[in-house]
Structure 1
Amino acid sequence: MCNYFKNYSGGGSIGCNTLYHLTKLGMTNVILLEKHSLTAGTTWHTAGLLWRLRPSDTEIQLLAHGRNLIKGLEQETGVAPGWIENGGLFIASSKPRLDEYKRLKTIGHDFGVVSHVLTPEETKRLYPLMNVEDVYGTLYSPGDGTIDPAGYCQALTRAAKGKGAQVYESCSVTGIQTTESWAGGRKVSRVDTNLGSVKTECVINCSGAWAPKIGDLAGVAVPLTAMKHAYVLTERIEGIQNMPNVRDHDSSVYMKLQGDALALGGYEEHPVFLEQLGDDFAFSLYELDWDVFGCHIKGAINRVPVVEATGIKSTVCGPESFTPDHKPIMGEDPGLQGFYHGCAMNSAGMMLGGGCGWQLAEWVIKGRPSLDMFGYDIRRFHPNLIRNRKWVTERSHEAYAKNYSIVFPHDEPLAGRNANKGPLYETLLSQGCVYQDRQGFERPGWFLPGTMAPPLDYDYYGSYQIPKHANYVYKDLLGSDYTFDFPPHHKQNGEPVGHLYRGEFAFTLGKSIGYGYIRSLDNTPISTHDIKEGSYELEIMCDKVKAQVHTKSPFDPTNQRIQGHYRD
Structure 2
Amino acid sequence: MSELPKKARVVIIGGGVIGCSVAYHLTKLGWTDVVLLERKQLTSGTTWHAAGLIAQLRASKNMTRLAKYSQELYSQLEAETGVATGMRETGSITVALTEERKEELLRQASMARAFNVEVEEISPTDVKERYEYINLEGVKGAVWLPHDGQGDPGNIALAMAKGARQRGAQIFERIAVNNIRVSNRRAEGIDWKDENGEVGHIQTEMVVNCAGMWGHQVGRMAGVNVPLHACEHFYIVTENIKGLPKLPVLRVPDECSYYKEDAGKILLGAFEPIAKPWGMSGIPESFEFDQLPEDFDHFEPILNNAVNRMPILAETGIQTFFNGPESFTPDDAYHLGRAPELENFWVAAGFNSIGIQSAGGAGMALAHWMNDGAKPFDLSDVDITRMQPFQGNSKYLFERSKETLGLLYADHFPFRQKATARGIRRSPFHHEMLAQGAVMGEVSGWERPNWFANPGQERRYHYRWKRQNWFENSASEHKAIRENVGMYDMSSFGKIRVEGHDAEKFLNYVGSGDFSVPIGKIVYTQFLNKKGGIEADVTVTRLSETAYLVITPAGTRLSDQRWLERHSVDFQVVITDVTAGEAVLAVMGPNSRKLLQMVSPNDFSNTNNPFGTAQDIEIGMGLARAHRVTYVGELGWEIYVSSDMAAHVLDTLLEAGRKLDLKLCGMHTMDNCRLEKAFRHFGHDITSEDHVIDAGLGFAVRTNKPDFIGRAAVLARKETGPKMRLLQFLLSDPEPLLFHNEPIIREGEVVGYLTSGGYGHTLGAAVGLGYVPSKDEKLSEILASNYEIEVAGCRVKASVSLKPMYDPLSIRAKDNIVSSV
* TM-score, scaled to structure 2: 0.59
Q: Deviations over 1:431-487 (max 9, x none)?
A: 2221211111011211223158xxxxxxxxxxxxxxxxxxxx54xx312xx222332
Q: Secondary structure at the match of 2:470?
A: helix
Q: 1:218 matched to which residue of 2? A: 222
Q: 2:186 matched to which residue of 1? A: 187
In structure 2, relative to structure 1, the CA distance for the partners of 1:230 and 1:362 (3 Å cut) is: same
Once residues 269 and 145 of structure 1 are traced to their aligned partners in structure 2, the CA distance between those partners, rounded to angstroms, is: 25
Once residues 118 and 526 of structure 1 are traced to their aligned partners in structure 2, the CA distance between those partners, rounded to angstroms, is: 35
Deviates most, 422-431 or 343-352: 422-431
Deviates most, 53-62 or 407-416: 53-62
Alignment partner of 2:117 out of 100, 107, 113: 113
2:790 aligned with 1:553: yes
How many pairs were matched up? 515
Q: Secondary structure at the match of 2:134?
A: coil
2:461 aligned with 1:478: yes
Q: 1:415 matched to which residue of 2? A: 420
Alignment partner of 1:431 out of 436, 461, 470: 436
Once residues 439 and 167 of structure 1 are traced to their aligned partners in structure 2, the CA distance between those partners, rounded to angstroms, is: 37
Deviates most, 423-432 or 260-269: 423-432
Q: Deviations over 1:362-382 (max 9, x none)?
A: 221122322321221221122
Identity percentage over the alignment? 33
Once residues 385 and 244 of structure 2 are traced to their aligned partners in structure 1, the CA distance between those partners, rounded to angstroms, is: 45
Q: Secondary structure at the match of 1:246?
A: strand
Q: 1:500 offset after TM fit, Å?
A: 3.8
Once residues 283 and 794 of structure 2 are traced to their aligned partners in structure 1, the CA distance between those partners, rounded to angstroms, is: 52
Q: 2:293 matched to which residue of 1? A: 287
Q: 2:318 matched to which residue of 1? A: 312
In structure 2, relative to structure 1, the CA distance for the partners of 1:491 and 1:552 (3 Å cut) is: farther
Q: 1:150 matched to which residue of 2? A: 154
Q: Read off the aligned partner of 1:41 and give its amino acid letter.
A: G
Q: 1:36 offset after TM fit, Å?
A: 1.5
In structure 2, relative to structure 1, the CA distance for the partners of 1:41 and 1:556 (3 Å cut) is: closer
In structure 2, relative to structure 1, the CA distance for the partners of 1:499 and 1:126 (3 Å cut) is: closer
2:402 aligned with 1:397: yes
2:88 aligned with 1:89: no
Q: 1:412 offset after TM fit, Å?
A: 0.9
Once residues 353 and 498 of structure 1 are traced to their aligned partners in structure 2, the CA distance between those partners, rounded to angstroms, is: 46
Counterparts of 1:63-462 in structure 2 under 5 Å?
63-180=67-184, 186-194=185-193, 196-274=200-278, 275=280, 276-383=282-389, 385-451=390-456
Deviates most, 139-148 or 501-510: 501-510
Higher relative contact order (CA 8 A, sep 6+): 1
Q: Any conservation in 1 of the 2:18–2:210 contact (CA below 8 Å)?
A: yes
Once residues 526 and 6 of structure 1 are traced to their aligned partners in structure 2, the CA distance between those partners, rounded to angstroms, is: 56
Q: 1:551 offset after TM fit, Å?
A: 5.7
Q: Any conservation in 1 of the 2:55–2:357 contact (CA below 8 Å)?
A: yes
Q: Any conservation in 1 of the 2:224–2:341 contact (CA below 8 Å)?
A: yes
Q: Deviations over 1:127-179 (max 9, x none)?
A: 11110021101111121111112321221112111111111112111211111
Q: Read off the aligned partner of 2:381 and give its amino acid letter.
A: G
In structure 2, relative to structure 1, the CA distance for the partners of 1:451 and 1:189 (3 Å cut) is: farther
Q: 1:319 offset after TM fit, Å?
A: 1.6
Q: Any conservation in 2 of the 1:420–1:441 contact (CA below 8 Å)?
A: yes
Once residues 323 and 557 of structure 1 are traced to their aligned partners in structure 2, the CA distance between those partners, rounded to angstroms, is: 36
Q: Secondary structure at the match of 1:200?
A: strand
Q: Any conservation in 2 of the 1:431–1:451 contact (CA below 8 Å)?
A: no
Q: 1:214 offset after TM fit, Å?
A: 1.5
Once residues 148 and 172 of structure 1 are traced to their aligned partners in structure 2, the CA distance between those partners, rounded to angstroms, is: 26
Q: Secondary structure at the match of 1:159?
A: helix
Once residues 333 and 224 of structure 1 are traced to their aligned partners in structure 2, the CA distance between those partners, rounded to angstroms, is: 14
Once residues 526 and 227 of structure 1 are traced to their aligned partners in structure 2, the CA distance between those partners, rounded to angstroms, is: 47
Once residues 527 and 294 of structure 1 are traced to their aligned partners in structure 2, the CA distance between those partners, rounded to angstroms, is: 49
Once residues 229 and 499 of structure 1 are traced to their aligned partners in structure 2, the CA distance between those partners, rounded to angstroms, is: 50
Once residues 95 and 41 of structure 1 are traced to their aligned partners in structure 2, the CA distance between those partners, rounded to angstroms, is: 39
In structure 2, relative to structure 1, the CA distance for the partners of 1:551 and 1:151 (3 Å cut) is: closer
In structure 2, relative to structure 1, the CA distance for the partners of 1:430 and 1:5 (3 Å cut) is: same
In structure 2, relative to structure 1, the CA distance for the partners of 1:40 and 1:421 (3 Å cut) is: same
Q: Secondary structure at the match of 2:202?
A: strand
Q: Which runs of 5+ in 1 are unaligned?
A: 181-185, 453-472, 520-524, 538-544
Q: 1:512 offset after TM fit, Å?
A: 3.7
In structure 2, relative to structure 1, the CA distance for the partners of 1:499 and 1:356 (3 Å cut) is: closer
Q: Any conservation in 1 of the 2:273–2:410 contact (CA below 8 Å)?
A: no
Once residues 241 and 217 of structure 1 are traced to their aligned partners in structure 2, the CA distance between those partners, rounded to angstroms, is: 49
Alignment partner of 2:470 out of 482, 489, 502: 489
Q: 1:466 matched to which residue of 2? A: none
RMSD: 3.0
Q: Any conservation in 2 of the 1:129–1:240 contact (CA below 8 Å)?
A: no
Once residues 108 and 239 of structure 2 are traced to their aligned partners in structure 1, the CA distance between those partners, rounded to angstroms, is: 33
Q: Deviations over 1:487-534 (max 9, x none)?
A: 243247698334549896458896443235769xxxxx7678xx99xx
Q: Any conservation in 1 of the 2:135–2:311 contact (CA below 8 Å)?
A: yes
In structure 2, relative to structure 1, the CA distance for the partners of 1:169 and 1:115 (3 Å cut) is: same
* TM-score, scaled to structure 1: 0.84
Q: Deviations over 1:168-194 (max 9, x none)?
A: 1121112111112xxxxx211011112
Once residues 40 and 251 of structure 2 are traced to their aligned partners in structure 1, the CA distance between those partners, rounded to angstroms, is: 33
Q: Secondary structure at the match of 1:164?
A: coil
Q: 1:67 offset after TM fit, Å?
A: 0.4
Once residues 32 and 277 of structure 2 are traced to their aligned partners in structure 1, the CA distance between those partners, rounded to angstroms, is: 39
In structure 2, relative to structure 1, the CA distance for the partners of 1:83 and 1:527 (3 Å cut) is: closer
Once residues 215 and 177 of structure 2 are traced to their aligned partners in structure 1, the CA distance between those partners, rounded to angstroms, is: 12
Q: Which runs of 5+ in 2 are unaligned?
A: 1-6, 194-198, 485-672, 677-729, 731-737, 745-751, 772-778, 799-804, 807-821
Once residues 518 and 288 of structure 1 are traced to their aligned partners in structure 2, the CA distance between those partners, rounded to angstroms, is: 52
Q: Deviations over 1:207-250 (max 9, x none)?
A: 11111221232222321111111211101223432111111000
In structure 2, relative to structure 1, the CA distance for the partners of 1:526 and 1:103 (3 Å cut) is: closer
In structure 2, relative to structure 1, the CA distance for the partners of 1:243 and 1:442 (3 Å cut) is: same
Once residues 96 and 763 of structure 2 are traced to their aligned partners in structure 1, the CA distance between those partners, rounded to angstroms, is: 39
Q: Any conservation in 2 of the 1:50–1:146 contact (CA below 8 Å)?
A: yes
Q: Any conservation in 1 of the 2:110–2:790 contact (CA below 8 Å)?
A: no
Once residues 97 and 320 of structure 1 are traced to their aligned partners in structure 2, the CA distance between those partners, rounded to angstroms, is: 26
Alignment partner of 1:513 out of 751, 755, 764: 755
Q: Read off the aligned partner of 1:514 and give its amino acid letter.
A: S
